[in-house]
Structure 1
Amino acid sequence: MAWRGRSSLSIRDRGGSHLNDRWKSILPIIASIACGWIGWSGEVLLLPFAVVFPLLWAMAPSRTIAALVAAGYFLVASRGLPQGVANFYATDLWPGLALWVTASASFVMVHAVFWKPHGGDASGRKGTDAARAVRYLMVMVLMALPPFGITGWAHPLAAAGVLFPGWGWWGLLAMATGLTVMTTRFWPAAAIILGGLWLWSAASWTGPRLPDAWMGVDLEQAHNLGRDGSLTYHRDLIATMRRRIAAHPDTHVVVLPESALGFWTPTVARVWQEGLRGSDITVIAGAAVIDPRGYDNVMVAISADAAKVLYHERMPVPGSMWQPWLQWTGRGGGAQADFFGNPAVEVDGFKVGPLICYEQLIVWPVLQSMLHAPEVIVAVGNGWWTENTSIVAIQKASSVAWARLFGLPVVMAFNT
């Protein structure tokens, strides 16, 4: 009887142990889904929820669970992609789902490869802490820079603008330090400090200001924006712009959304210059420049006296716009990526950090522009295809967070 009692107790212990192990595997995945959903909801003050992700990744009991934690966080943070692709191609959800899962592959792979199991004894734990912190630092860098950074959405570093507004590069360093500490046994101290900074920032939060005499003009032309190349379209757009700024006679620079001008041609340039005749207004607007290899997604600057291409997009949307395999096979086509080109431009005496659409979701275009000490950020997008998703809201929240980190004004113009 005693033997049978001990056996039953042993079985119950093993059963309880298996149950605990199961929950240790499930809870980090559930929590990563929650912090990805909340942090990347499109509300800038909720971005710090992403700070929890490195802790959940580090707590994973196995490499497989670490990969699932990364997948849960990333897929939920980018949950608008399947519907957005379906809207863009006027098709069902399957192509969007395929792209969604494919895009997550690099994020999941990097986090799975660099995950490190917990150590055993105290001295081993100390070494493991340091190793895990270094590994997560490497993950942050890899997911911020090409090639992995091409799909490096939902990067926790973006929360730096909420936790350390105005700190600039020191704030970025503090954020990186806090994220690495979250992967060690000292995470409670890091969580308390970062949580306190979050509460303080939320209580005193003010959005980034507009620079004097600048204005962003949002449009609601859906998929029709820029697709009508007629003179009537351009004259109507000029009239719309003039009506928007009529109440602000001190405006000197007007920003229009991505793709607002359609194909950039000498004729389009002349029409806009004529429309601006007699004013001192400079218009920054999105357009496309066609060449035999494909096209460039650009910003142009137009005044009554001059018109020029101002900026070539460094990172167009992979898959739908940037299709490098067309170049590799000699077919040509798709948007060209300028990667590290023209990170800062000058408009009306201001040094500008330009960001077009997708560049607002990833890290290196922002930081490359900040290296050139711009005086204003200009963020434009054409988000008609994001209907019923939070993609545009996330783009705006990310742009605002980066602007607040570096204490810069930001001008945004989106089409929906």
Structure 2
Amino acid sequence: MRREHLQPTALMAVSIVAGTVGWSGHVLLLPVALAFPVLWALARTRLTAAFVSAGYFLAASRGLPQGVATFYSSDLWPGLLLWLCASTGFVIVYTVLWTKETGARPCRYFLAAALMAIPPFGITGWAHPITAAGVLFPGWGWWGLVAVTAGLMGLVTRMWRAVAIVLAGFWIGSAATWDESTLPQGWQGVDLEMGASLGRDTSLQRYRDLIATVTDRASGGARSIVLPESSLGFWTPTVERLWVRALRGTEISVIAGAAVVDAGGYDNVLIAISSDGARLLYRERMPVPGSMWQPWRPLLGQSGGARAHFFANPVATIADRRAAPLICYEQLIVWPLLQSMLHDPDVVIAVGNGWWTKGTSIVAIQRASTNAWARLFDKPVVFSFNT
């Protein structure tokens, strides 16, 4: 290999390692993603910066092709196409804003990171290195976000070695004292293993099984019980009556995923059910682009697809607590949780229906990302997933 090709190849190889290890689904490994800004800054040309960005992002999102193939019961090609398309925004932002000027790099990197955290680029802003804030500075809240932002900007300067040593010190200290957050008293998340049938099997027996699961968890003292995304299938008056009647005479509150359908499309939602009745608790702000959210449909005169309620309902009240709900895809991007934290919720509710991710690390990454953000703001988190 020619000498001038050695450095770009090495940078790209290390970026792939950083994306793979940092986003392996282990929360304490998230700070490995902080290698990306260093590699981006070490690139000598814009083309090298593009390859470094692509290597990091594609490695971090490596489970997408297999997951899409499983979801659509097809071969890998649709998933590979979506994988490459999703990386486009990330690569374009970091390539365009790369610069040779050392003094301008911190501001350029800050702008790139900000663009990837909010819509429209933030819609596919997965694998954002800033997620490591919760591991480096647990409990620091907004000051922790400021600290990690300053650290990221420092990593693209000539002082990156000193900055990296300081951040590594915080990482080691955090890892040495890390423990799992405790659930709020009376709350319980339920993980299911019902595969693709959850939300699709709307038989009376399926609802009876779910009700039995809720009743069993309530016998252990739980009063607010969370079920995964899509647990209730299509939300109808009949389903509502069934659940309200089943909870009559109890103090149980159930938070469960459902779909509310109308002529124009549907909302992916969370429903709160108790013996007093049921209410729509939360409408998903960012459904999965492509498979659920299809904004091109109205332009083609077509209906269908999930609606995105971008900045709506960041918090919801349930059982006298303010909750920050996150449904599936929202756990992989930055702005939904940060928007919710502006309202200082008491608990984070993270639900998903990850049957299609079997054999990948996607659900583990969702859990790690949400756990990191919750620890940054010192909030308990209730998880509920179906696999």
TM-score, with normalisation over the residues of structure 2? Answer: 0.99
- 1:222-251 deviation digits (Å, cap 9, x = unpaired): 0000112222221121012222332x22x1
Contact 1:293 1:327 in 2 (8 A): no
- The 3-state SS of whatever aligns with 1:324 is coil
Residue 292 of structure 1 aligns with which residue? 263
1:209 equivalenced with 2:182 (yes/no): yes
Q: Distance in 1 between matches of 2:309 and 2:103?
A: 37
Contact 1:162 1:198 in 2 (8 A): yes
- 1:25-73 deviation digits (Å, cap 9, x = unpaired): 1111011000000000000000000011001001111101100000000
1:270 equivalenced with 2:253 (yes/no): no
Residue 193 of structure 1 aligns with which residue? 166
Q: Which of 88, 92, 96 is matched with 1:113 structurally?
A: 96
1:220-259 aligned at under 5 Å gives the runs 220-246=193-219, 248-249=220-221, 251-259=222-230
Q: Distance in 1 between matches of 2:181 and 2:314?
A: 21
Q: Distance in 1 between matches of 2:180 and 2:60?
A: 23
Q: Distance in 2 between matches of 1:208 and 1:112?
A: 38
Residue 395 of structure 1 aligns with which residue? 366
1:338 equivalenced with 2:321 (yes/no): no
Q: Distance in 1 between matches of 2:218 and 2:38?
A: 48
Residue 102 of structure 2 aligns with which residue? 129
Aligned residues: 387
Q: Distance in 1 between matches of 2:168 and 2:323?
A: 33
Shift of 1:289: 0.2
Q: Distance in 1 between matches of 2:358 and 2:382?
A: 22
Q: Distance in 2 between matches of 1:353 and 1:97?
A: 33
Residue 363 of structure 1 aligns with which residue? 334
Counterpart residue identity of residue 186, structure 1:
M
Residue 51 of structure 1 aligns with which residue? 34
- The 3-state SS of whatever aligns with 1:407 is coil
Contact 1:231 1:271 in 2 (8 A): no
Q: Which runs of no fewer than 5 residues in structure 2 stay unpaired?
A: none
Q: Distance in 1 between matches of 2:110 and 2:182?
A: 32
Q: Distance in 2 between matches of 1:130 and 1:283?
A: 54
Residue 351 of structure 1 aligns with which residue? 322
Counterpart residue identity of residue 402, structure 1:
W
1:93 equivalenced with 2:76 (yes/no): yes
Shift of 1:20: 3.1
Q: Distance in 1 between matches of 2:246 and 2:288?
A: 32
Residue 153 of structure 1 aligns with which residue? 126
Q: Distance in 2 between matches of 1:164 and 1:376?
A: 19
Q: Which of 8, 15, 32 is matched with 1:25 structurally?
A: 8
Contact 2:218 2:252 in 1 (8 A): no
- The 3-state SS of whatever aligns with 1:286 is strand
Shift of 1:329: 1.6
Shift of 1:22: 1.5
Q: Name whichever of 27-36 and 236-245 sits farther off.
A: 236-245
Q: Name whichever of 142-151 and 19-28 sits farther off.
A: 19-28
- The 3-state SS of whatever aligns with 2:279 is strand
Q: Which of 31, 50, 56 is matched with 1:73 structurally?
A: 56
1:64 equivalenced with 2:37 (yes/no): no
- The 3-state SS of whatever aligns with 1:153 is coil
Counterpart residue identity of residue 377, structure 1:
V
